[in-house]
Amino acid sequence: MSFNLQSSKKLFIFLGKSLFTLLEAMIFALLPKQQKNVAGEIVLITGAGSGLGRLLALQFARRGSVLVLWDVNKEGNEETCKMAQEAGVTRVHAYTCDCSQKEEVYRVADQVKKEVGDVSILINNAGIVTGKNFLDCPDELMEKSFDVNFKAHLWTYKAFLPAMIANDHGHLVCISSSAGLVGVNGLADYCASKFAAFGLAESVFVETFVQNQKGIKTTIVCPFFIKTGMFEGCTTACPSLLPILEPEYAAEKIVEAILQEKMYFYMPKFLYFMMFLKSFLPLKTVLLIGDYLDIFHAMDGFLERKKKL
Ligand SMILES: NC(=O)c1ccc[n+]([C@@H]2O[C@H](COP(=O)([O-])OP(=O)(O)OC[C@H]3O[C@@H](n4cnc5c(N)ncnc54)[C@H](O)[C@@H]3O)[C@@H](O)[C@H]2O)c1
């Protein structure tokens, strides 16, 4: 009897709180979105030497953050550093770091802690794509995909999360991909590494939630193709629903999501609907939709980058 009373009370509280969170979310959806101030925050961006990483760096530079730029490409990274200085940021530090090497990540992270301070916003953005069918992809390339796109996240989290927890202040940003939400032919290793990065970020978020570390925020970003050159030659058959994104637009929206402390951010919005459909439609219907949107041929024109990473 007392058990029934206990469990009814628990259920009642749960329903009340759930209703409250739903109402809260609906009200917040109608209000103008608040953006946090990142002036003075130490923002580390991996893969800052080109593409999205560079544009994210410039966005944070304009907002007065202290920048820590990592890239394996020294020249590109220094160029971003110069551009950030021109954009007005006074404290910008460029480090050459191969994120696929655990020891190097730990070594450079120690250097950053000594020379700059505790990183408060960590953006794991460095990424590579092999773009080969599963059986055609050499083992070393598959391992490299995992080392850069996923394992680097493990090491950077281990290096920078403890100080975030100690300060009860930090933000972990995972640049995953729409390929971290759905499997894509010709992208098996890339998809697997992006799913892994997504899973890690979500799990660490749940850990911080359970341990009541309210000051640690997480944002997981899943964009469709962006015109940075990474997916050169790839196409979309349905540009109205799944447009190939302009890099500046993508960077602006990603920063907006970070400043609003959104947990999940998919781009374009149609991806949310696709995920919803995938969760309940019969497989055959999902495959028909994929075929209609020509998703199975998106990688057909993929042009491998000439430069070896
Ligand atoms: N471009 C797209 O269509 C697209 C779509 C979804 C997600 N993404 C993701 O966005 C992120 C940025 O991609 P991008 O489009 O700007 O590509 P990009 O190739 O322009 O930039 C990637 C950067 O990562 C750096 N990098 C690669 N290997 C590294 C390593 N071992 N250590 C350190 N740095 C390394 C490169 O030098 C480069 O500067 C990636 O994680 C990518 O997977 C891209």
Residue whose token pair is 């550093």: 81
Question: Would you say the CB of residue 309 lies under 6 angstroms from ligand 1?
Answer: yes
pLDDT tops 50 at residue 249? yes
Three-class secondary structure assignment of 147-186: HHHHHHHHHHHHHHHHHHHHHCCEEEEEECCHHHCCCCCC
Across the beta sheet with 216-223, the strand order is 92-96, 66-71, 42-46, 121-124, 170-175, 216-223, 264-267
Question: Would you say the CB of residue 175 lies under 6 angstroms from ligand 1?
Answer: yes
CA nearest ligand 1 atom 19, residue: 230
Q: How is the chain split into domains, by residue range?
A: 36-297
Question: What is the mean predicted confidence (pLDDT) over 77-97?
Answer: 93
- pLDDT tens-digit map of 122-179: 999 999 999 999 999 999 999 999 999 999 999 999 999 999 999 999 999 999 999 9
Type of residue found at 239:
P
| 139, two tokens | 């083992």
| 83, two tokens | 């551009």
Question: Would you say the CB of residue 268 lies under 6 angstroms from ligand 1?
Answer: no
| Predicted pLDDT of residue 302 | 95
Give the architecture-level CATH label for domain 36-297: 3-Layer(aba) Sandwich (3.40)
Catalytic residue among 95, 157, 190, 266: 190
Question: Would you say the CB of residue 53 lies under 6 angstroms from ligand 1?
Answer: yes
Say if residue 268 is preceded by a cis peptide, omega within 30 of 0.
yes
| Predicted pLDDT of residue 274 | 95
Question: What is the mean predicted confidence (pLDDT) over 267-271?
Answer: 96
3-state helix vs strand vs coil in the chain, percent to 5: 55, 15, 35
pLDDT tops 90 at residue 74? yes
1 pLDDT band, cuts 50/70/90, is low
Type of residue found at 153:
H
Question: Would you say the CB of residue 50 lies under 6 angstroms from ligand 1?
Answer: yes
Q: 88 C-alpha to center of ligand 1: Å?
A: 25
Closest ligand 1 atom to 101 CA: 31
| Predicted pLDDT of residue 307 | 52
| Predicted pLDDT of residue 308 | 41
Lowest mean pLDDT among 18-22, 193-197, 210-214, 230-234: 18-22
| Predicted pLDDT of residue 244 | 97
| Predicted pLDDT of residue 309 | 40
Can you tell me the distance from the alpha carbon of 59 to that of 37, in angstroms, rounded to the nearest whole number?
A: 13
Q: Is 249 a catalytic residue?
A: no
| Predicted pLDDT of residue 14 | 87
Q: How far are the Cα atoms of 90, 112, 230, 237 from residue 293, in angstroms, in the given order?
A: 46, 45, 21, 6
| Predicted pLDDT of residue 5 | 80
Q: 54 C-alpha to center of ligand 1: Å?
A: 10
- pLDDT tens-digit map of 13-35: 989 999 999 998 888 888 878 89
Q: 47 C-alpha to center of ligand 1: Å?
A: 6
